[in-house]
Amino acid sequence: MGEVDPAFFQALEHRPSLQNVEAQGIPVIDLSILSSPDASLEDLVKKIGDACRDWGFFQVVNHEVPLEKREKIFNASKKFFAQPKGEKIKIRRDEKRVLGYYDTEHTKNVRDWKEVFDFTVQNPTIVPASYEPDDKEVTEWYNQWPEYPPELREVCEEYAKEMEKLGFKLLELIALSLGLKADRFHGFFKDQTTFIRLNHYPPCPVPNLALGVGRHKDAVALTILAQDDVGGLEVKSKSDGEWTWVTPTPNSYIINVGDIIQVWSNDAYESVEHRVKVNPEKERFSVPCFLNPAHYTWVKPLEAIANEQNPAKYRPYNLGKFLVTRKGSNFKKLDVENIQISHFRVSDLSDKLEGALSINT
């Protein structure tokens, strides 16, 4: 192995410890009660609400996603990434075709030690043609499928159906836990921009300097992640700020609240920072599904939650414009911070300023 490109090196304060702090608290929630039609959901809804509030993360077991479908997508993913780079870059993403293979993602401007393959659940996926606020034109994102392995497309499409089913169940439970009607979120996903990513983290000679994915929050509604038994995911604990290792639980899914649920819930549930450590000997595979609403959604605190006592903490933002801005910036190392929900946060200062202006006009 030659010299490692310093583009992968984290700043001193973000370098990972090689010791893992085991998670005591990230709850493992059993969903089996969902298959008994007459059972009361009260306990389950409370567990989900507590987990969303206290951790922003939880794992689910007995989720009814067939193990076979999970094994198939992991096997196909291994076959795809095991090919020479020359094969993989045949479906490399670029500024026009934003889906497919790439290995140059930067998180917070540091290069991630990983390669990925992205596909959307709806094909094509409709998004704005540009990030210019006044440009009303839309465009279509198409999936790019590799020649090898030939089963990849079918396996991915089958897996996507399972993720949608589980995703809707989880969204219902989360809605109930916020005191909303179970189907409150469904409408947002009619023309969803949900995408699934195959992640491959090769063994890394500098696991003390680099990260598989640097610290970040997921800018989507909800993430459903399958990880293999190597482990690497760390979550920043809300209670003490420690990076906490998520011990792989066989055949479980890790669920995390994304930025959009944070905004919808007006900060009742927060999108929590997480990162991925790499391993000097073992490669690791994971498959996150990022549940994301339609591009025309204006993301803002829900009326049933934000009110006079609990004023909206965010200004509405257009999801499609947000998404297109982010996708565009993935290709390059930026001099500025990537677009974040915090840019739409109503700050006390701007409130006061706005107040002052409205008095003066």
Residues in the site for Fe ion, rule: CB under 5 A?
Answer: 218
Q: Tell me: does residue 225 bind ligand AKG (CB under 6 A).
A: yes
56 binding ligand AKG? (CB under 6 A): no
Nearest in space to 250 (alpha carbons), one of 226, 234, 267:
226
Torsion of CA 112, 121, 296, 267, to 10 degrees: -60
3-state secondary structure 201-233: ECCCCCCCCCCCEEEECCCCCEEEEEECCCCCE
| Cβ-based neighbours of 92, under 8 Å, separated by 6 or more | 100, 101, 102
Applying CB under 6 A, among 177, 227, 244, 262 the residue interacting with ligand AKG is 227
- Min dist CB 106 to ligand AKG, Å, is 13
CB closer to ligand AKG, 213 vs 294: 213
- Does 263 interact with ligand AKG (rule: CB under 6 A)? no
Q: CB under 5 to 8 A by kind: which of Fe ion, ligand AKG, none does 323 bind?
A: none
Q: Which strand (E) or helix (H) includes residue 271?
A: none
What is the spatial distance between Cα 55 and Cα 237, in angstroms, rounded to a whole number? 7
- Choose between 218 and 234: whose C-beta lies nearer to Fe ion: 218
Please pick, from the candidates 106, 274, 295, 313, the single residue that binds ligand AKG as defined by CB under 6 A: 274
First-last CA distance in the chain:
66
Q: Which of 65, 226, 276, 324 binds ligand AKG (CB under 6 A)?
A: 276
Mask for 174-203, x = binds ligand AKG (CB under 6 A): -----------------------x-x----
Q: Mapping DSSP to helix (H, G, I), strand (E, B) and coil, where does residue 80 land?
A: helix
Q: Which stretch binds ligand AKG (CB under 6 A): 10-18, 27-35, 225-233, 257-265?
A: 225-233
Helix (H) or strand (E) holding 298: strand 298-299
- Give residue number: closest CB to Fe ion: 218
Query: Using CB distances below 5 to 8 A depending on partner kind, what does residue 215 bind out of ligand AKG, Fe ion, none?
Result: none
Maximal CA-CA distance, the chain: 66
- My answer on whether omega of the bond before 128 falls inside 30° of 0, hence cis, is no
**Which partner from the list ligand AKG, Fe ion, none does 233 bind, CB cut-off 5 to 8 Å by kind?**
ligand AKG
Nearer to ligand AKG, 106 or 313 (CB): 106
Alpha-carbon distance 324 to 319, whole Å? 9
Least separation in angstroms between CB 218 and ligand AKG: 5
Angle at 129 between CA 342 and CA 110, to 5 degrees: 45
Binding mask 102-141 for ligand AKG (x = CB under 6 A): ----------------------------------------
Residues that bind ligand AKG (CB under 6 A): 197, 199, 213, 218, 225, 227, 233, 274, 276, 286, 288
